[in-house]
Chain A
């Protein structure tokens, strides 16, 4: 089934550790996104990529980095995790036109202790 795959599904991480959240799509979508969702704050954009080889910063980029080496993969790295990064992380993709909706992966629930 075509779609977006995120891994891991959930993770408990000690503060200070490095972590990479994986995201792969098989829809050949140009654009990909990382959002975090926190209770009372909704979905907030961390980083995005409009096409392979390019990335941009969203609303809350500090402490996170991304890369887009190819069309299918868009990993999100936390260089040194902090408790405030405890959240549910959603990866999404879109075909790249103005009317294109975002298609979301099932999310990664991350707890930083």
Chain B
């Protein structure tokens, strides 16, 4: 099974950089996913990490350390539209098992 921890809420200023952390305890590991969810909407896929290191996608980057059971999502040049919940999810082996989600981090971007 999985135990996934994320901060409940964060606030950051427009134009700044924010890092959202995710830690997990697992008996196995088959990849970590980040999702964005605006209020009242469905989650949308942001990034996938299965190997250690940083994956960059425009203003968003995601980092993984498997030995530490740790990931973070880095958002640069924050915009008001980035105000949303960010969900960390882990996949157990083997194969294509369902994702287990953390409770999400609600990010508020202020002017």
Contact = CB atoms under 8 A, between A and B. Distances in A.
B20 to A, nearest CB: 14
Interface string A91-113: 00010111111111111000000
Sort chain B's interface into a size bin: 20 to 34
B41 A106 contact: yes
Contact of B87 (A42, A59, A107): A42
Contacts, number: 55
B17 to A, nearest CB: 25
B101 A42 contact: yes
Given A58-B98, A102-B99, A43 B43 contact: yes
Sort chain A's interface into a size bin: 20 to 34
B43 A98 contact: no
A50 to B, nearest CB: 7
Interface string A7-40: 0000000000000000000000011010100001
B96 A50 contact: yes
B30 A104 contact: no
Nearest to A39: B103
Nearest to B94: A98
A11 B31 CA distance: 35
A22 to B, nearest CB: 16
5 contacts: A45-B98, A98-B50, A102-B33, A104-B43, A106-B42
List the 4 closest A-B pairs by CB distance, nearest first.
Answer: A42-B103, A104-B42, A101-B45, A43-B101
